[in-house]
Amino acid sequence: MSVRVSYSKQVAFGILFLLVILAVVEVGLRIYYNNNPNFCEILKSDVYESVSNDLKNKICFDAINIVWNYYPVAFIKPNQNLYTIHIDSDGFRGPQITKDKPDNTYRIFVVGGSTAFGWGSTSDETTISGYLQQDFDNTHLNSKVQVINAGVGGTFSLVEAEYVKNKLLTYHPNMIIVYDGVNDIVTSSRALNQIQINESLTDKLVVLYKEYFTFYKTPQILQLVINDIKSRTQSQVTQILDKSTVTEKATMWKDNWEVICDLGKKGGFDTIITIQPFLGTGNKTLIKHEHDYFLKTSNPVILKSYQSYVDQLDNIKNHCTSTADLRGAFDGISEPVYWDAVHVGDMGNKIIAEKLFELANPVLKQKGIE
């Protein structure tokens, strides 16, 4: 009996000791983070100069805590309510929608990766979709236009096209707007052919942590530190950007969206396919932070290959309602726009929304919505 008691005490002491260690690490990392807050690019960028440090920190941690799920295909876990991000019961960022489309409503889905989702936005309303909704609301049309944010971080055209076919079409869209390109060009050809990914134990643990243990900040701070270290090292993407591979990938990108556009013709919904900008495209004058970031990334290499995707727009436009090259969307803008290699702040989202409005509004007018 005494042996059992002794063993129980040892186990209890071991658990207590572990909890003390975890608490000490937690306190230490929080103190270290508060004294060295620039592990998140958002905290360093001039894009957020007018944003309070408290809100910037919330944006950083929300970006880490949002639960994406890529198994068997990409989607966002429904019913998430973070400080700057709200996911409805259908897995879309923004206000709750109904699966059945309301009467007298023209429904638009904006599809893409984390830029379409609004990674770095101060709110749901200041994403591309949020601003596009405001643009339509301010136009006072004779029908309600509903803009839905269908961006999912880290996705590329094949996954996005499957997302459209398997989920978005069940919501009876009137228009699909695609805003992507970068994730395709920086992803290997092999990965671009893969829709389903096998979920590892690590992936399951990450989701479990994000759902139940976000009060414990140690993993989040460590991730910020790791991301900061990675951002200081130029990405090596030369191997996946050789000429033959880029041409192959650009063709795959075209084929994926031609399928969706052809479905649109058969199913009665419009399709607008756009090539997104990233740091270095167009003729925007880069401020110091943007210029410094540009030089330490692989963007100079990517720029040379991105034209292959733009060239595919001529082929895609024969299948889709409209296409657009948005690489120069920020030309003439002297203020800071990019906070990393591709993501932008609220002002950048507003500008992109205006460009998309200019593309979408004429389509609506042709249908008598004005």
| Spatial separation of the C-alpha atoms in residues 230 and 344, rounded to whole Å | 19
Task: Name the residue type at position 124.
Answer: D
CA angle 227/200/198 to nearest 5° reads: 110
The angle, 0 to 180 degrees and rounded to 10, between the axes of the packed helices 243-267 and 157-166 is 20
Count CB neighbours of 33 within 10 A: 19
Tokens representing 105? 């409503």
Q: 175 φ, ψ to 5°? A: -150, 140
pLDDT tens column, 32-66: 666 555 558 898 899 999 999 999 999 988 988 88
The angle, 0 to 180 degrees and rounded to 10, between the axes of the packed helices 218-231 and 53-65 is 100
pTM, 2 dp: 0.86
Strands (E), the chain: 68-69, 75-76, 80-81, 86-87, 105-112, 144-151, 175-180, 270-275, 322-325
| Spatial separation of the C-alpha atoms in residues 117 and 160, rounded to whole Å | 12
Radius of gyration of the chain (CA): 22
Q: What is the pLDDT of residue 223?
A: 63
Tokens representing 355? 């460009």
pLDDT tens column, 299-342: 888 898 899 999 999 999 999 999 999 999 999 999 999 999 99
Rounded mean pLDDT, 268-297: 93
pLDDT tens column, 233-256: 544 444 456 556 888 999 999 999
Query: For 356, what's the count of Cα atoms within 13 Å in the CB-facing half-sphere?
Result: 35
Query: SS3 of 173, please?
Result: coil
Tokens representing 351? 């500008």
| Spatial separation of the C-alpha atoms in residues 318 and 5, rounded to whole Å | 78
Please check the confidence at residue 86 and state whether its pLDDT lies above 90: yes
Query: Does residue 219 have a cis peptide bond before it, meaning omega lies within 30 degrees of 0?
Result: no
Please check the confidence at residue 216 and state whether its pLDDT lies above 80: no
Tokens representing 143? 């029908």
pLDDT tens column, 107-149: 999 999 999 999 999 999 999 999 999 999 999 899 999 999 9
